[in-house]
Amino acid sequence: MSARFEEIDWRPTPMGEISLRRRRDPLSGEDVYEVKLGDEYLMSSLFTTGEVELTRLGLAELPPEGAFDVAVGGLGLGYTARTALDDPRVRSLVVVDALAEVIDWHRRGLVPLGAGLSSDPRCRLVRGDFFAMVAGSAAAGGTPSAEGVSTDAPGAAEDKADGAGATPSGLDPETPGRRFHAILLDVDHSPRHVLHPSHAGLYRPAGLAALAELLYPGGVFALWSNDPPDEEFISVFAGVFAETAAHVVDFDNPLQGGTAANTVYVGRRRDG
């Protein structure tokens, strides 16, 4: 039986002090894993419905048959990535996270889903700034490759950093400008409440257009938000993507009682 509370890891990062904690939930008796950045809670294994639904709603827009390449921005505790790998249509998954510490937790098996993600031959964990990588692709002229599938051995990929040298063009450092059938993003609290000022540009027309260039025609972008549907952002989103929707995801909140809600924005890249 685990202790009631344990700080599994704590490290300084460029974004602030990050910690991984495990505590016993007094209601269920189960272990709850939490990530804090400074004094702010980033994620908890007690609330995973939003991450799961981000993947489910995004991939639901793809054809029922096929083999698809997917990119995820934000590794976190791994629920978005795990849900993608549980879809048999997903043939490859690139997961980009800015914090090497988070990737290390998964590779060391310090979080429940870590070992499964790290050992899946379809999955690569990439250290990099998702937002800078998208912007770097636009700066490089947006020249996506045809069909880039990773050939890394299971669990053997090295971290790919965006710091040394030029910013990578696109989300796969091994295949600059590689296109994906779906991109799923769960990093910021919302388009209005970002973790770092450098992220804000992605949620403007030019930033969304740059991201769309990393999708195949008809590909899908899905975005998680902790805020209610934002009409101003919906207008911007619809100006870049076709067939857009803002899904409200309700879930139980045992800490406060009642229910809470997230928003998942989904849009399709215009053909051509």
Query: Closest by alpha carbon to 135, among 204, 201, 192?
Result: 201
> So what's the pLDDT on residue 152?
33
The yes-or-no verdict on residue 213 having pLDDT over 90 is yes
H/E/C letters for each residue in 150-190? CCCCCCCCCCCCCCCCCCCCCCCCCCCCCCEEEEEECCCCC
Phi/psi of residue 57, nearest 5 degrees: -70, -40
How far is the CA of 239 from the CAs of 128, 160, 234, in angstroms?
A: 28, 33, 9
Sorted by where each begins, the domain ranges of the chain are 1-46, 47-268
Percent of the chain with pLDDT over 70: 86
Mean pLDDT of the chain: 87
pTM: 0.87
Sign of the CA dihedral running 40, 44, 46, 51: positive
User: What pLDDT digit, counting tens, does each position of 71-120 carry?
Assistant: 999 999 999 999 999 999 999 999 999 999 999 999 999 999 999 999 99
- Region 127-140 average pLDDT: 89
The yes-or-no verdict on residue 151 having pLDDT over 70 is no
Return the higher-pLDDT residue of 255 and 157. Answer: 255
> So what's the pLDDT on residue 141?
62
pLDDT band, very low/low/confident/very high, at 164 (cuts 50, 70, 90):
very low
Please state which architecture CATH assigns to domain 47-268: 3-Layer(aba) Sandwich (3.40)
Least confident interval from 48-52, 153-157, 159-163, 206-210: 153-157
> So what's the pLDDT on residue 65?
95
The yes-or-no verdict on residue 160 having pLDDT over 70 is no
207, two tokens: 């930033």
39, two tokens: 């004094």
Distance CA 123, CA 93 (A): 5
Query: Closest by alpha carbon to 68, among 170, 193, 215, 272?
Result: 215
3 state SS of 211 = helix
